[in-house]
C-alpha cells in the first residue's frame, strides 16, 4: 500500500475527481436485480384485469421463437385462431340461413378456413412472417368478398380497421416495411368496401333487420379486437420500460460492486464520503483495514486461496456493521469503513469487533485453514469539503497499527500532529 496514491496531480486527487463525478448513492449488497422469468410473465397486479386477460390470451408463447419474433408469432397465432372460429361461425350461419343463395360464399369460407389453418401451422413452426402475412391477407380478401355478397350494411368490412393496430403486435420493428404495406392494403380494402361497393348492389339481398343485427355484432367484435390489441401493445410498452429499468439497475449494481467480495467498490464509497465531508454533512468516522501478511499467503498458497479468504471476509464484514454503515473493498487486501454518526470511542469498539471477527474464525481452503488478522487505522472525519485529509489520517493510523505489531486498531484525530515517519508520501510495506 503506497502513500503516493494520495498525492495531488494536475487534475486534483483521485478523491476530488470522484467527488466531482456525481452525487452519493447507497449501494445495496443483496445481489443484482433478477432478470429472466419475471420479465416474460404477466405482472401479478395485471393478472386479474382485462389487460392481464388480453396478455394471457394474445401473448401466450407458441413455438421456439423468443424475443420480439416470439411475441409477434404468439399474437399472430391467437388472432388466427380467433379468425378461424369466427369464419366457421359465419359459415355455419350462412349454411343454415340459405345454402342455395349463399352457396358461393360458403365455398369461399372453406378456402378461408384452410388459409387460417395453414397460418396456424406456420405459426407453430416458427414461421412468424409467413403466418402474419396470411393473418392479414386472408381477412382482407374475406371481408371484401363478404361485403360484395351481403353489402357493407352488414359491417363485415369493419374488421379491416383492426389492421391499423394489429400490425404493431403481429409484425416486429424490423418488419416495418411489411407494416406499411399491410396498412396500405387494409386501407384500400376498407375504402373499396365503404365507398366503391354500392349500398344497394349486393349480390345477395338480406332483410334490413338482419343487416342491422350483423352490423352490431361485427362492430362489437371489431371493438373487442381493437381493445385486446391496444391492451397488449400497452403491456408490451410497460414491459419494455420495466426491462430497461431492470437492466440499468443491474448495470449500476455491477459497476458499484466488487465481484469477489460482494462489497462496494471505490466509487460509491468515495461518493458517500464526499457528502459526509461537506460543510453540512453528518459527523462520521473513517477506517481503513488491511489484512496482515496477505502477500505471504498468496505467495505460499496461491491466489486462489487468497481469493477464497477475501470472499469469506466480504460476507463476514457486512454482518458486523449497522445498516447506516458502509464497507467497501479499497483495493487488494484493503477495506474501507464509513461509520456515520459515531463517536471515535464507539467507532473504536465497532472496529475492534470487526478485527476480532476476522481473526477469531479461521478460513478453510483446499484441506487447510488460514488464520487471518487485520490491522485497522481509524480517524474522525472532518467537514472541510473533501475527505482527502481524513483518508490520509486513516492511512497514517493504519501504518501506525502495522508498526506497533499488527492485528490492532490505531486511531488519530484531525488535530493530531503527524510525525515525520508517517507523513512521508512513499513507503513500502511488502509482506505487511
Place 223 in a pLDDT band, splitting at 50, 70 and 90.
Answer: very high
Give per-residue pLDDT as tens, 94-140: 999 998 999 999 999 999 999 999 999 999 998 999 999 999 999 99
Helices (H) and strands (E) in the chain, counts: 14, 7
Give per-residue pLDDT as tens, 39-82: 444 444 444 555 555 555 455 566 677 888 888 899 999 999 99
Q: Tell me the average pLDDT across 185-201.
A: 84
Give per-residue pLDDT as tens, 312-366: 888 888 888 888 898 998 888 999 999 999 999 999 999 999 999 898 888 888 8
- Regarding beta strands 368-370 and 363-365, do their DSSP bridges make them parallel or antiparallel, or are they unpaired? antiparallel
For 215, the grid coordinates are: 352490423
Q: Which helix (H) or strand (E) holds 376?
A: strand 374-380
Q: Tell me the average pLDDT across 378-393.
A: 90
In terms of C-beta distances under 8 Å and separation of at least 24 residues, what long-range contacts does 212-220 make, across chains too? Answer: 212/153, 214/150, 214/154, 214/155, 214/156, 215/153, 215/154, 215/155, 216/155, 217/155, 218/154, 218/155, 218/156, 218/158, 218/159, 219/155, 219/158
Grid cell 443484482 is found at: 32
Identify the pLDDT of residue 256: 81
Q: Tell me the average pLDDT across 387-401.
A: 92
Q: Tell me the average pLDDT across 389-415.
A: 91
Q: Per-residue pLDDT for 37 more than 50? A: no
Q: Taking the chain, what is the end-to-end CA distance rounded to the nearest angstrom?
A: 9
DSSP state of 257: B
The alpha carbon dihedral of 295, 301, 304, 309 has a sign of: negative
Q: Per-residue pLDDT for 20 more than 50? A: no
Question: Would you say 329 and 264 are in contact if contact means Cβ atoms under 8 Å apart?
Answer: yes
Biggest CA pair distance of the chain: 112
Domain spans of the chain, in order of start:
37-249, 260-423
Identify the pLDDT of residue 49: 57
Q: Per-residue pLDDT for 424 more than 60? A: no
Give per-residue pLDDT as tens, 250-294: 887 777 888 888 888 888 888 899 999 999 889 999 999 999 988
For 339, the grid coordinates are: 461509520
Q: Which helix (H) or strand (E) holds 331?
A: strand 326-331
Identify the pLDDT of residue 16: 38
**Residue 417 CB partners (closer than 8 Å, separation 6+):** none
Rounded to whole angstroms, the Cα distance separating 149 from 135 reads 22
When the pLDDT of each residue in the chain is averaged and rounded to a whole number, the result is 81
Give me the percent of the chain exceeding a pLDDT of 70.
81
pTM of this prediction? Answer: 0.56
| CATH class for the region spanning 260-423 | alpha beta
Amino acid at each position: 500500500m503506497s502513500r503516493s496514491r494520495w498525492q495531488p496531480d494536475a487534475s486534483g486527487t483521485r478523491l476530488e475527481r470522484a467527488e466531482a463525478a456525481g452525487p452519493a448513492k447507497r449501494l445495496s449488497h443483496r445481489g443484482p436485480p433478477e432478470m429472466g422469468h419475471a420479465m416474460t410473465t404477466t405482472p401479478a397486479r395485471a393478472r386479474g384485469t382485462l389487460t392481464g386477460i388480453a396478455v394471457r390470451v394474445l401473448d401466450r408463447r407458441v413455438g421456439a421463437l423468443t424475443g420480439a419474433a416470439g411475441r409477434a408469432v404468439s399474437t399472430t397465432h391467437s388472432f388466427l385462431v380467433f379468425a378461424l372460429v369466427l369464419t366457421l361461425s359465419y359459415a355455419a350461419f350462412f349454411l343454415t340461413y340459405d345454402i342455395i343463395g349463399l352457396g358461393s360464399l360458403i365455398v369461399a369460407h372453406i378456402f378461408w378456413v384452410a388459409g387460417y389453418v395453414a397460418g396456424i401451422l406456420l405459426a407453430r413452426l416458427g414461421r412468424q412472417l409467413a403466418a402474419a402475412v396470411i393473418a392479414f391477407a386472408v381477412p382482407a380478401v374475406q371481408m371484401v368478398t363478404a361485403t360484395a355478397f351481403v353489402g357493407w350494411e352488414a359491417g363485415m368490412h369493419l374488421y379491416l380497421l383492426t389492421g391499423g393496430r394489429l400490425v404493431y403486435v403481429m409484425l416486429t420493428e424490423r418488419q416495418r416495411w411489411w407494416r406499411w404495406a399491410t396498412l396500405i392494403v387494409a386501407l384500400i380494402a376498407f375504402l373499396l368496401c365503404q365507398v366503391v361497393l354500392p349500398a344497394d348492389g349486393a349480390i345477395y339481398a338480406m332483410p334490413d333487420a338482419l343487416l342491422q343485427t350483423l352490423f352490431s355484432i361485427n362492430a362489437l367484435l371489431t371493438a373487442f379486437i381493437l381493445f385486446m390489441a391496444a391492451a397488449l401493445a400497452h403491456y408490451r410498452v410497460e414491459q419494455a420500460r420495466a426491462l430497461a429499468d431492470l437492466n440499468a439497475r443491474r448495470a449500476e449494481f455491477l459497476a458499484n460492486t466488487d465481484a469477489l467480495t460482494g462489497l462496494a467498490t471505490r466509487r460509491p464509497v468515495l461518493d458517500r464520503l464526499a457528502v459526509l465531508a461537506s460543510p453540512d454533512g453528518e459527523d462520521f468516522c473513517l477506517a481503513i483495514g488491511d489484512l496482515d501478511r496477505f502477500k505471504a499467503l498468496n505467495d505460499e498458497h496461491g491466489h486462489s486461496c487468497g481469493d477464497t479468504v477475501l470472499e469469506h471476509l466480504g460476507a463476514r464484514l457486512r454482518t458486523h456493521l449497522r445498516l447506516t454503515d458502509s464497507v467497501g473493498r479499497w483495493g487488494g487486501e484493503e477495506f474501507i469503513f464509513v461509520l456515520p454518526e459515531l463517536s471515535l470511542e464507539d467507532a473504536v469498539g465497532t472496529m475492534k469487533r470487526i478485527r476480532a471477527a476476522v481473526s477469531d474464525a479461521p478460513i478453510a481452503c483446499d484441506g487447510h485453514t488460514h488464520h487471518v488478522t487485520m490491522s485497522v487505522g481509524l480517524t474522525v472525519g472532518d467537514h472541510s469539503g473533501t475527505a482527502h485529509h481524513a483518508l490520509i489520517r486513516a492511512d497514517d493510523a493504519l501504518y501506525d497499527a502495522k508498526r506497533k505489531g499488527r492485528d490492532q486498531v490505531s486511531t488519530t484525530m484531525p488535530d493530531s500532529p503527524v510525525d515525520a515517519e508517517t507523513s512521508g508520501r512513499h513507503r513500502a510495506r511488502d509482506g505487511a
